[in-house]
């Protein structure tokens, strides 16, 4: 069933919120303590009437293509639009342009709903399977995959990005990101990733953004083509005046290969790992300056209270910052991304 933009029929999410709250109270009264999922909490907090679109690759709904559903949204949209993507593999490139904000892309689970393409390019943006350039975006329960075969090392056909995130105020809950090289281009803006799965080999997460990765799993794939081990992060920050950086809280790093926690892609690169489990996948040096020709004096690569066999800071790169509680505090809540101003659900 489709509720078109011309129709006066809209779903009143306030009603849904009331139902959820009632269920929570009743369940709590019986001592079971129902825990609402992020998708329910997000939905309950979108209190204005919204438009609702369903996509089914098998043809049971009006739209079989996610891009067609996005194209149906008017430019300059100011109301939240829920695009419910039923389970299936959607083999298409998808782009949400800057003019189409307030989209909630709801899948049926990251192992059930996926957007898949196969493209390598010397241009990371061009190779991306999924691009979101609009502000105010939410995704839940969907995977983004670039299935391009591993290219020739150091060649122009070696970038195969799964997702490009270039808008401000974007949140991903229980999503998956898969590629063999340059998986997630976290380009710019404030972003929040919660309980996501991110898989890759080299520069798995890279870009200029200011982002928190909360309880995310990072799986490292071995890249046998070159001697240089991969890196979990490659953050670009060129000035102390840029308030950007990647923060990883309470997640896990493991896999089949070995990788550094990060390498600088700018003289002021900023990456923090806190309360993170690190398997032996993490190289003892922790951090690499591979292909960096600038100074390391202002690079902010830091660790705080991490654990696991790969977390020992003995033998780490000389520029590592071992944070104390006071130094770590600014990175341990969503205040780092001004989350209280825009996040609908996230850790405090």
The encoded tokens of residue 63 equal 């739209």
User: Out of 113-122, 225-234, 281-290, which region has the weakest mean confidence (pLDDT)?
Assistant: 225-234
**pLDDT at residue 2, rounded to an integer:** 37
Position 284 in a domain:
yes
CATH number at residue 272: 2.160.20.10
Number of domains in the chain: 1
The encoded tokens of residue 275 equal 């309360």
Position 332 in a domain:
yes
- Residues paired with 160 in a beta bridge: none
Nearest C-alpha neighbor of 274 from the set 314, 302, 316, 315: 302
CA torsion 10-14-19-23 (nearest 10°) is: 140
Position 24 in a domain:
no
- pTM score above 0.85: yes
**pLDDT at residue 31, rounded to an integer:** 40
8 A C-beta contact, residue 294 and residue 325: no
Q: Examine the residue annotation and report whether 203 is marked as an active-site residue of this protein.
A: yes
**pLDDT at residue 25, rounded to an integer:** 40
Position 322 in a domain:
yes
Q: Is 227 helix (H, G, I), strand (E, B) or coil?
A: coil
Position 260 in a domain:
yes
Sheet holding 217-220, edge to edge: 88-91, 113-117, 143-146, 176-178, 197-200, 217-220, 252-255, 277-278
**pLDDT at residue 280, rounded to an integer:** 95
Cα separation, 31 vs 206, in Å, equals 44
The encoded tokens of residue 150 equal 């591993």
Position 259 in a domain:
yes
Q: Name the average pLDDT for the chain.
A: 86
Question: Average pLDDT in the 219-241 region?
Answer: 83
Write out pLDDT tens, residues 290-343.
Answer: 877 778 889 999 999 999 999 999 999 999 999 999 999 999 999 999 999 999
Position 314 in a domain:
yes
Which of 40, 168, 186, 203 does the annotation list as catalytic? 203
Write out pLDDT tens, residues 179-216.
Answer: 988 999 999 999 999 999 999 988 999 999 999 999 99
Those residues with Cβ within 8 angstroms of residue 335's Cβ, 6 or more apart along the chain or in another chain = none
Nearest C-alpha neighbor of 52 from the set 14, 13, 3, 86: 3
147 pLDDT above the threshold of 80:
yes
Question: Average pLDDT in the 270-274 region?
Answer: 98
CA–chain centroid gap for 122, Å, is 22
8 A C-beta contact, residue 273 and residue 306: yes
User: Out of 17-31, 127-141, 166-180, which region has the weakest mean confidence (pLDDT)?
Assistant: 17-31
Neighbours of 344 (CB within 10 A): 18
Q: What is the extent of the structural domain holding 258?
A: 201-348
**pLDDT at residue 161, rounded to an integer:** 96
Cα separation, 78 vs 116, in Å, equals 28
Maximum pairwise Cα distance, the chain: 64
The encoded tokens of residue 51 equal 């438009």
Position 312 in a domain:
yes
Angle at 109 (CA atoms; ends 65, 11), nearest 5 degrees: 65
Burial of 154 per CB tally in 10 Å (0-12, 13-18, 19+) = exposed
**pLDDT at residue 104, rounded to an integer:** 96
């Amino acid at each position: 069933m489709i509720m078109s933009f011309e129709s006066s029929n809209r779903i009143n999410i306030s009603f849904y919120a009331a139902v959820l709250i009632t269920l929570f109270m009743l369940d709590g009264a019986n001592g079971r303590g129902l825990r609402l999922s992020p998708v329910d909490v997000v939905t309950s907090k979108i209190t204005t009437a919204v438009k609702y679109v369903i996509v089914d690759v098998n043809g049971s709904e009006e739209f079989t293509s996610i891009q067609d559903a996005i194209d149906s949204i008017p430019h300059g949209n100011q109301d939240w639009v829920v695009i419910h993507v039923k389970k299936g593999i959607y083999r298409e490139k998808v782009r949400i342009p800057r003019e189409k904000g307030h989209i909630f892309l709801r899948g049926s689970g990251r192992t059930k709903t996926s957007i898949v393409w196969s493209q390598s390019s010397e241009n990371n943006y061009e190779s991306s399977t999924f691009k979101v350039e609009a502000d105010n975006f939410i995704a839940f329960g969907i995977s983004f995959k670039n299935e391009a075969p591993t290219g020739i090392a150091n060649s122009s056909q070696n970038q195969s990005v799964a997702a490009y995130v270039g808008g401000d105020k974007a949140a991903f809950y229980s999503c998956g990101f898969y590629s063999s090289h340059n998986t997630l281009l976290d380009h710019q803006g404030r972003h929040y990733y919660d309980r996501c799965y991110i898989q890759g080999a080299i520069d798995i997460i890279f870009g200029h953004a200011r982002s928190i990765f909360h309880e995310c799993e990072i799986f490292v794939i071995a890249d046998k083509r070159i001697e240089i081990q991969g890196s979990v992060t490659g953050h670009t920050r060129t000035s102390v005046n840029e308030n950007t950086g990647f923060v990883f809280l309470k997640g896990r790093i493991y896999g089949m290969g070995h990788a550094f926690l990060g390498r600088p892609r700018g003289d002021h690169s900023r990456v923090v790992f806190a309360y993170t489990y690190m398997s032996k996948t993490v190289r003892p040096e922790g951090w690499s300056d591979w292909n960096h020709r600038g100074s390391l004096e202002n690079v902010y690569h830091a660790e705080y209270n991490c654990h696991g066999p790969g977390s020992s800071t003995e033998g780490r790169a000389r520029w590592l910052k071992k944070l104390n509680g006071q130094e770590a505090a600014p990175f341990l809540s969503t205040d780092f991304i001004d989350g209280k101003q825009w996040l609908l659900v996230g850790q405090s």
